[in-house]
Structure 1
Amino acid sequence: MSLALTSGPAVEPVTVSEAKAHLRLDGSAEDILIASLIVTSRLHVEAALGLALITQGWRLTLDRWPPGREPVRFPLRPIAAVTSVTLYDANGDATLIPSDRYLLDGQALSPRLIPNGGWTAPGRAHAGIEIEFEAGIGAIAADVPAPIRHAILLLVAHWYEHRDPLEIGQAAAMIPAAVSDLLKPYREVRL
C-alpha cells in the first residue's frame, strides 16, 4: 500500500497575518519564514492526528483488495469523496470501477470503502488498484476546529523561538505540552 498527495490544500488553517499577530511581529521581513513554519506545523498536526485539515487530493495504491468482502481502510481521515477507483490488468490497461460498486463511509473514525457486491481482482500483481480521493475537514480555514488552529499557532511560535540547529549531546527543545493538550480530543482512540 502507498499513499501519495496529488493536490495539496489551497489554503492553510492559519494565515501569516494571524501567526504574526500571535507572535506580536510587525513588518514583513520574516513572512517567508512564518509561512514555512505554518506549513510545517500543519503537517506535524496532520501526521500526529492522522487527519487532513484542509481539503486535499490523495491517491491510495494497493496490490490487492482486502480478503473476502472486507472494506478498504483509509490511512487518514475524514474522507470527503472518492473521485475514482481504477483497476489495472496484466497489460497495464486501466478500468474504472463504477461508483455504484462501492460505498464510502468517509466520516468514520476509521474511514472505509465498502464493496457493493464484492471486489473485482486486479490483473497485475503490484499496484493493481488506485483509489483517488479527497480528504479534509473542510475547504477553508474556518472549517478547522479552533483548538487545532490554536495548536498550530503554538507550534509556529515554538519553532520561531527555537530555530537553532541542535548539536549532538545537547537537550532538544520539547514541543509545548499545551499543543498535545489541545490536540488530544481529536486523536484516534485505538483499543
Structure 2
Amino acid sequence: MLKEDTDIPLASLPVEAFKSHLRLGTGFASDVVQDEVLESFLRAAMAAVEARTGKALIARDFTWRIVGWRRGDVQVLPLGPVSAVSAVRRVYGDGSEAVVEAGLYRLVQDLHVPRIESAGAMLPTIPTGGAVEIAFTAGFGAWDAVPADLRQAVMLLAAHYYEFRGETGLGEGCMPFGVSSLLARYRNLRLGMGQ
C-alpha cells in the first residue's frame, strides 16, 4: 500500500500558467473565480500523468508498506525518481515498529527503476505476520524542475478535462493522443511477469 504523506500545496501548482495556457480573459473584478476549478483539473491531470508514467512530478514524501520483498537482495520502489529514503521500518504483528539501521541498505537512484539494495547479502527480514514500511521522497522537485514534456502533458490533459468537463461519453482510460505521445518515453517497459 502506497500512502502520500505530504500533499502538493496550492502554491506549488502552476495555476497562473494554466490560465495562460487556456487563454482565459483577465482584467475582471475577480480573476480568481475559477481558480478552484482550475486547481482541480490540474490535480486530476497530474494524478493521471503520475499514474500513467509511475513518476511523481512535484517532490513529496511517501510511505510504502509491503509484506514481502520481491527479491531478497533488492526491492524496486513504486515511484520514481526517488531522491532519498528517510527510513525503513519493520512493523511487527502486534503493531510495534523498529527502525532498520540505514547501513543495511542503500538507495539506487534511477528514473525508471529506483530501488533499495542490500548493503550485504540480503535485505532485513520481514517479521512473520508483519510488514516493512519504506519512507521516501519522490519527484523531480518543484514544478519548474519537472521535465518540459511532462509539464506540457499536464497542461494539455488539464485543458482537455476543462474543455470536456461536461462530456460523459468518453471511454474509460481515454487520453488524448498528444498527451500519450509525450508520456511514452517515461513509461516503464515491463518484461516477463513484472520484473
Query: Does 2:156 align with 1:157?
Result: no
1:177 matched to which residue of 2? 177
Counterpart-to-counterpart distance in 2, 1:131 and 1:171: 38
Alignment of structure 1 residues 82-121 onto 2, 5 Å: 82-117=85-120, 118-121=122-125
Q: RMSD over aligned Cα, in angstroms? A: 2.1
Deviation at 1:15, TM superposition (A): 1.3
Give TM-score, length-normalised by structure 2.
0.85
Kept after mapping to 1: 8 A contact 2:74/2:123? no
Q: Deviations over 1:96-136 (max 9, x none)?
A: 1111110111225211110112233233414x211111111
Listed as ranges, the gaps of 5+ residues in structure 2 are 26-30
How far 1:64 moved relative to its partner? 2.6
- What is the CA–CA distance in structure 2 between the aligned matches of 1:171 and 1:61, rounded to whole Å? 35
Structure 2 counterpart of 1:43, from 43, 47, 50: 47
CA contact (8 A) 1:83 1:134 kept: yes
Could you tell me which runs of 5 or more consecutive residues in structure 1 were left unpaired when the two chains were aligned: none
Provide the residue aligned with 2:22 in structure 1.
23
Q: 1:190 to 1:39 in 2, by over 3 A?
A: same
What is the TM-score of this pair, normalised by structure 1? Answer: 0.86
Alpha carbons 1:61, 1:130 under 8 Å: kept: yes
Post-superposition offset of 1:187? 1.8
User: Is 2:2 aligned against 1:3?
Assistant: yes
Q: Give the Å deviation of 1:50.
A: 0.4
Q: What's the CA shift string for 1:21-44, capped at 9, x where partnerless? A: 111112332111111111111001
Give 1:132's aligned residue.
Answer: 135
Aligned to 1:121, what secondary structure does the other structure show? coil
- 1:189 is aligned to 189
- Structure 1: how far apart are the matches of 2:111 and 2:37? 36
| Counterpart Cα distance in 1 of 2:163 and 2:15 | 16
> Residues 35 and 156 of structure 1: is their aligned pair in 2 closer, same or farther, counting only changes over 3 Å?
same
Structure 1 residues 96, 130: closer, same or farther in 2, change over 3 A? Answer: same
Measure, in 1, the Cα distance between the counterparts of 2:54 and 2:82: 11
Measured after TM superposition, the shift of residue 137 of structure 1 is 1.2
**Per-residue CA distance 1:110-167 (angstroms, 9 max, x = gap):** 11110112233233414x21111111112x111001111111111121111111152x
Q: Report how far residue 91 of structure 1 moved.
A: 3.6
Residues 28/90 of structure 1: CA separation in 2 closer, same or farther (3 Å cut): closer
Distance 1:43 1:171, change over 3 A: closer
Aligned residue for 1:81, secondary structure, equals: strand
Give the direction of change, closer, same or farther, for the CA distance of 1:89–1:16 in structure 2 (3 Å limit): closer
CA distance in 1, matches of 2:11, 2:182: 18
Q: Secondary structure of 2:5's partner? A: strand
Moved more, 9-18 or 92-101: 9-18
In structure 2, what is the Cα distance between the partners aligned to 1:171 and 1:72? 37
- Match of residue 76, structure 1, among 79, 82, 92: 79
Aligned pairs for 1:58-69 within 5 A: 58-67=62-71, 69=72
Moved more, 54-63 or 23-32: 23-32
